[in-house]
Amino acid sequence: MEDISVFEEVSSMGHEQVVYCHEKSTGLKAIIAIHNTVLGPALGGTRMWMYENEAQATYDALRLSRGMTFKNSIAGLNLGGGKAVIIGDARKHKSEGMLRAYGRFLKNLNGKYITAEDVGMNASDMEHIAAETSHVSGMPETRGGLGDPSPFTAYTTYMGMKAAAKKQFGSDSLEGKKVSIQGAGHVGEYIIQHLKKEGCEIYVSDYYEDRVKDVVNKYGIKGVGLDEIYDLDVDIYSPCALGATVNDETLSKLKCSIIAGCANNQLADEKVHGDLAKSKGILYAPDFLINSGGVINVYAEVIKTTKDWSWNKCEFVYDQTLKVFDQSQATGKNAQEVAIDIAQQRINEVAAIKSTY
C-alpha cells in the first residue's frame, strides 16, 4: 500500500480528477476523488477516518468514488461518482474550522462534486460545510434538507438481504435467521431494528466498544469481538463498517450462506473474492446496489423532491437484486460483476448520446 502510484491507480480505475486539500491551522488533510461525471455531477459522501497513512487514504478515496459511479448509475440517478476522505479521528480531531476549510475546497470545484455524510460524519457536520459552499446534500430538515440518509441505506440493505434469502433459501422471511453485523454505526443500528422486528438472532461487533454495549443493551442482541465476527456460524454476514472485509483470510473463516451489508467495497478484489465466495456457495449481494438507499435520498434533496419519493424509489432494490442473482446464475459471472455490467451499460449509453452533440 505504501508503494501506491497515484497516477497508475487513477489511470487503471478511470478517474477524472483527484484533489488533495490541506489547511495547516485546522489540521485538514482531505482527498477528493472524482471518478466519472457522464451521468451528472459526481456525488458521494465525505468519510473521516484515522487512516494508517496517506497512501491508504488515497486508495480508499479512489475505490469509494468508483463504487459511487456504479451505485448512482444502477439506481437510475442522474449523478456521477465521487467520494472524499478526511484523514483524522472524527471523535478527536473534527472541528467547525476544519469542516469549513474543507467546504472552501469543495466550493472551488464549482459543483463538479457534491458531498454528503459518510462514516465519521453527520448532518450537523454538513451544516458547517454548507457555510462555505452550496454543493452539499444530506442537510438537517431544520435547514430545508431531507436529513439523515441512514434509514434509507438501512432499508435498501434490508431489502437486499430479503432478496438474497429468497434466492438462497426459497423464502424472503428472515425469521429465525442468524445474522452477524459488523459495524453498529447509524446504518448498522437501523438494520438491527429491521432484523429485530423480523425475529432474527443478531450478533454485532464494532471498532468502538461503547457502540457495541449501547446496541446490545438497547436491543437485547449479542456482542462479539472484532475478529470473532468472522468465526460465527450464521446464515447472513452483514458488513456495515469499512470495506475489504471479504478477503482471502475471512473467506477461509466465514460460515454463512449470504453476505449482504451496507459497507462499500466489501470485496477486497471484486473478481477474485467475488468468484471465491460464489465457489463456496455463498451468495454475495452487490454492495453498491443494496446500499443505494442513502444516495437516493441525498439525490432527492438535490432535485428538491420529498422523502416519499425516496422511499418509493428505494423499492427497486429487491427486484433488481433478484435479477442480478438470476443473471449471475445464467452467465456464471459473480453477482458483483453482473451489477457492474448493468451500471456500466447505462453509463455507456448516455456517453454515446452525449458524443453526438
The label of the residue with cell 478527536 reads 92
User: What pairing do the DSSP bridges indicate for beta strands 42-49 and 80-87?
Assistant: parallel
- Which candidate, 119, 124, 136, places its Cα nearest to that of 185? 119
Within this chain, do residues 168 and 203 fall inside the same structural domain, yes or no?
yes
**Burial class of 284 by CB neighbour count within 10 A (0 to 12, 13 to 18, 19+):** buried
List, as one string, the DSSP characters of 2-17: TT--HHHHHHHHT-SE
Within this chain, do residues 277 and 199 fall inside the same structural domain, yes or no?
yes
A 10 A CB-CB count for 151 gives 22
The model's pLDDT over 86-131, given as tens digits with 9 standing for 90+, comes to 999 999 999 999 999 999 999 999 999 999 999 999 989 999 999 9
Query: What is the CATH classification number for the domain harbouring 17?
Result: 3.40.50.10860
Q: Is residue 355 part of a domain?
A: no
Number of domains the chain contains = 2
Considering Cα of 144, then 150, then 151, then 153, what sign does the dihedral take?
Answer: positive
Q: Is residue 197 part of a domain?
A: yes
Point out which residues pair with 114 in neighbouring strands: 43
Within this chain, do residues 183 and 326 fall inside the same structural domain, yes or no?
yes
d(CA 107, CA 230): 42
Within this chain, do residues 249 and 114 fall inside the same structural domain, yes or no?
no
Quote the pLDDT of residue 216.
Answer: 98
Report the pLDDT averaged over residues 252-265: 97
pTM to 2 decimals? Answer: 0.95
Flag whether 186 is marked binding. yes
* Single residue among 143, 170, 185 that ends a domain in this structure: 143
The label of the residue with cell 440493505 reads 157
Flag whether 187 is marked binding. yes
Within this chain, do residues 249 and 112 fall inside the same structural domain, yes or no?
no
Q: Is residue 75 part of a domain?
A: no
Flag whether 111 is marked binding. no
Contact 76, 20 (CB under 8 A): no
Supply angle C-alpha 126, 127, 128, rounded to 5: 90
Within this chain, do residues 187 and 276 fall inside the same structural domain, yes or no?
yes
Flag whether 80 is marked binding. no
Flag whether 188 is marked binding. yes
Within this chain, do residues 130 and 264 fall inside the same structural domain, yes or no?
no
Q: Is residue 202 part of a domain?
A: yes
Within this chain, do residues 135 and 239 fall inside the same structural domain, yes or no?
no
Within this chain, do residues 137 and 251 fall inside the same structural domain, yes or no?
no
Catalytic residues: 83
For the chain, where are the alpha helices, taking DSSP H only? 6-13, 54-74, 96-107, 123-130, 150-169, 186-197, 209-219, 248-251, 270-279, 287-290, 293-302, 307-314, 316-331, 335-354
Report the pLDDT averaged over residues 332-346: 98
* Single residue among 120, 143, 166 that ends a domain in this structure: 143
Percentage of residues in the chain having pLDDT higher than 90: 95
d(CA 206, CA 204): 7
With H, G, I as helix, E, B as strand and everything else as coil, classify residue 165. helix
- What are the φ/ψ torsions at residue 293 (nearest 5 degrees)? -60, -40
* Single residue among 116, 143, 170 that ends a domain in this structure: 143
Within this chain, do residues 122 and 176 fall inside the same structural domain, yes or no?
no
Query: What is the CATH classification number for the domain harbouring 178?
Result: 3.40.50.720
The model's pLDDT over 197-235, given as tens digits with 9 standing for 90+, comes to 999 999 999 999 999 999 999 999 999 999 999 999 999
Residue span of the structural domain in which 156 resides: 149-291+321-343
Contact 310, 152 (CB under 8 A): yes
